[in-house]
């Protein structure tokens, strides 16, 4: 039930918070356009994605037609389709029609027909269209019902010929018919000299295998990604991703990976501080029985490589587990690290660019978790069982407790006080609720409300509050109250700030929580209906503050949270910013009359999970804390 509640709470928090803005890596794809018609394939998700951008920046582009394949169609295409409005497979933009055109947005991983001015100005035979955007791993739709308008993800430099490209396919180039727009005419021509024509990156051609056969060969290797659209987007909380690499060619193949820097982002986009420190998970072993890691990708000119056997043989596939070394991300919280992970092969046939990004984790937001108390300090007097002997063989009385006076009889010196920690029979859970504001203030909370806040103008937003009164009463059905029952309940709500100067997670957090001797709701020594523990005298008059310890004690709880120290292994350095683990210790001091006190110590482990990244906490006045910003 507990796990279900946590999942429900996290799900609701994500729903209320909304989708986060997509962070981007940047690269430019240059397309060389001849006068007239050109087949183009975009390997990036364009930043200048509207037709208005194209209209203003590239005046020589007159028409753009987007090809929309319908994989389930039964209609057979014998010849390349003409870009006409009657075809349901085309969406078009024409400069003459402007905003009246059906196509108003460019997308990546798509094939286009682009018509430029013919002739081009100054007699140029080539026009450069530079599309800046987010690199996309190739994703193809192939229909057996006819021709397919697609482009191959070949290397930018020295691409292979069509014959060489398909030669490594299990079916080679047998039955493959290819048409291109090499001469700028609207009617493409079928390629005959496959040995001499290059498979140019960014060029779209018509392809079909004879006999309505399906084609799944688009290069000698394949990558299975967790998310083919976003690439490896670590964000603040993800630590690792699993990739499957397969050789789908008929020959042994070596695949290499390099981590490239992103281009500078356009104006108004999030600045990039550096490449993400990518690491490859290694073998399990060592003293801690943990995974090692390889940081070759982050080295200058560094790369990783895998040699794979031919298709369908043992050793033709590899599992790659990549993580981001968060310990090496030393910029400010919220900083964006971004780059491009490029995979190429030893045959020079394929280039797959995968966007990679990570955000330096922040502690801002609401943290909920649990401390598990599993040790308690002994406080027992015990006899010394093995006293030492002097040189003459006589028994030497050992004084273990330094507080025992030397004047005590030797026989009493044989006893000592055991102050070590021992395991408890069953761990005791304590819920922890902490919040960090945008300006770094950290607070320990007894309760918090998560829901939609009230707004006098009819608008609502997700808020964190210490009182239900700050929530929208019309939306309480989706709100949640989270409570730590072991902390004192006060009205107005009391929150606790860490002790010390400039406290932080890394230096450890220490809180002091007082349970007043007359706090009926929280003090365990106070019982309303027990005459010996109701803080009332024989005449049922309530004791004042000078009578602490007559029937109940004041309890002072000193709570310390110390984060785990980084260990140099894969799992430790890739741990995301959505979880905090560490060591929990607490001293419980009971104060009696005449200010006498006795302390007990407990220890354990704690785990905190960030539920939502809201940096403000709405609260009322508190006896010891100002309202939250």
List, for residues 426-485, the tens digit of each pLDDT value. 999 999 999 999 999 999 999 999 999 876 555 568 899 999 988 988 889 999 999 999
Question: What average pLDDT score do residues 544-552 get?
Answer: 71
Q: Is beta strand 272-274 parallel, antiparallel or unpaired with respect to 336-345? A: parallel
Of 145 and 240, which is predicted with more confidence? 240
Report d(CA 575, CA 583) in Å as an integer: 17
- How far is residue 147's CA from residue 509's CA, in Å, rounded to a whole number? 65
pLDDT score for 147: 82
Out of 386-395, 407-416, 539-548, the most confident range is: 539-548
Mean pLDDT of all residues in 388-410: 51
CA 136/CA 193 separation, integer angstroms? 30
Provide the H-helix boundaries in 114-242.
162-167
Contact between residue 154 and residue 73 where contact means Cβ atoms under 8 Å apart: no
Strands 232-235 and 351-359: parallel
Distance CA 330, CA 309 (A): 40
Position 458 scores a pLDDT of: 54
Over its C-alpha atoms, the chain yields an Rg (Å, rounded) of: 35
Average pLDDT over residues 270-281: 95
Find residue 179's DSSP bridge partners. 190, 206
Give me the helices (H) in 503-564, please: none
Contact yes or no for 542/536 (Cβ under 8 A): yes
Q: In whole angstroms, what is the distance from residue 35 CA to residue 116 CA? A: 5
Mean pLDDT over 417-422 rounds to 83
Name which of 592, 172, 164 is nearest 345 in CA terms.
Answer: 164
Question: Which residues, at least 6 apart from 210, have a Cβ–Cβ distance to it below 8 Å?
Answer: 175, 176, 177
Place 56 in a pLDDT band, splitting at 50, 70 and 90.
confident
CB atoms within 10 A of CB 604: 20
Closest CA to 160 of 208, 111, 209, 195: 195
Interatomic CA distance for residues 210 and 551, integer angstroms: 95
Cis preceding linkage at 192, omega within 30: no
What pLDDT, in 10s, does the model give residues 283-319?
A: 988 677 889 999 999 998 899 999 999 999 999 999 9
Flag whether pLDDT at 246 surpasses 90. yes
Q: Cα(277)–Cα(335) distance, rounded to whole angstroms?
A: 13
Q: Bigger pLDDT: 291 or 12?
A: 291
């Amino acid at each position: 039930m507990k796990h279900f509640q946590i999942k429900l709470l996290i799900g609701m928090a994500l729903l209320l918070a909304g989708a986060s803005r997509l962070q981007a890596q940047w690269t430019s794809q240059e397309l060389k356009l001849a006068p007239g018609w050109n087949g183009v394939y975009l390997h990036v998700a364009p930043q200048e994605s509207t037709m208005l951008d194209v209209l203003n920046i590239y005046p020589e582009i007159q028409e753009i037609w987007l090809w929309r394949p319908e994989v389930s169609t039964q209609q057979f295409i014998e010849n390349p389709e003409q870009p006409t409005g009657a075809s349901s497979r085309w969406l078009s933009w024409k400069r003459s029609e402007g905003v009246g055109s059906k196509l108003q947005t460019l997308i990546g991983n798509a094939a286009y027909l682009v018509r430029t001015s013919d002739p081009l100005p100054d007699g140029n035979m080539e026009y450069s269209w530079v599309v800046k955007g987010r690199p996309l791993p190739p994703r193809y739709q192939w229909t057996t019902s006819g021709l397919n308008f697609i482009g191959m993800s070949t290397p930018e430099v020295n691409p292979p010929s069509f014959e060489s490209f398909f030669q490594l396919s299990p079916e080679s180039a047998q039955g493959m018919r290819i048409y291109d727009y090499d001469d700028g005419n609207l009617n493409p021509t079928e390629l005959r000299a496959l040995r001499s024509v290059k498979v140019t990156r960014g060029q779209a051609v018509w392809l079909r295998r004879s006999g309505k056969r399906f084609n799944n060969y688009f290069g000698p290797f394949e990558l299975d990604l967790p998310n083919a659209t976003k690439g490896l987007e670590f964000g603040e909380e993800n630590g690792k991703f699993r990739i499957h690499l397969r050789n789908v060619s008929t020959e042994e193949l070596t695949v290499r990976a390099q981590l490239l820097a992103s281009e500078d982002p356009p104006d108004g986009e999030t600045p990039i501080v550096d490449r993400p420190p990518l690491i490859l998970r290694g073998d399990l072993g060592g003293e801690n029985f943990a995974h090692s890691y390889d940081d070759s990708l982050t080295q200058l000119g560094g790369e990783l490589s895998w040699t794979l056997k031919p298709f369908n043989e043992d050793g033709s596939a590899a599992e790659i587990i990549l993580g981001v070394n968060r310990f090496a991300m030393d910029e400010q919280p919220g900083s964006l690290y971004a780059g491009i992970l490029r995979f190429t092969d030893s045959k020079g046939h394929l280039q797959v660019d995968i966007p990679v990004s990570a955000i330096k984790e922040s502690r801002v937001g609401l943290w909920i978790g649990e401390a598990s108390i599993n040790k308690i300090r002994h406080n027992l007097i015990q006899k010394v069982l093995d006293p030492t002997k002097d040189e003459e063989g006589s028994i030497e009385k050992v004084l273990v407790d330094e507080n025992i006076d030397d004047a005590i009889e030797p026989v009493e010196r044989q006893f000592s006080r055991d102050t070590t920690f021992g395991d408890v029979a069953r761990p005791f859970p304590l819920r922890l609720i902490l919040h960090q504001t945008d300006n770094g203030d950290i607070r320990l909370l007894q309760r918090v409300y998560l829901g939609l806040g009230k707004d006098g103008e009819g608008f609502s937003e997700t808020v964190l509050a210490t009182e239900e009164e700050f929530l929208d009463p019309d939306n309480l059905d989706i709100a949640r109250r989270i409570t730590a029952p072991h902390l004192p309940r006060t009205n107005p709500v009391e929150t606790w700030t860490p002790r010390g100067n400039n406290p932080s997670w890394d230096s450890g957090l220490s809180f002091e929580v007082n349970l007043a001797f007359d706090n009926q709701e929280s003090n365990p020594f106070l019982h309303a209906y027990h005459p010996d523990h109701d803080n009332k005298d024989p005449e049922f008059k309530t004791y004042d503050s000078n009578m602490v310890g007559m029937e109940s004690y004041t309890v002072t709880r000193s709570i310390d949270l110390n984060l785990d120290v980084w260990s140099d292994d894969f799992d430790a350095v890739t741990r995301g910013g959505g979880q905090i683990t560490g060591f929990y210790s607490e001293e419980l001091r009971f104060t009696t009359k005449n200010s006498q006190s006795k302390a007990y110590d407990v220890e354990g482990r704690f785990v905190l999970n960030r539920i939502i990244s809201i940096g403000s906490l709405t609260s009322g006045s508190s006896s010891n804390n100002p309202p939250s910003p």
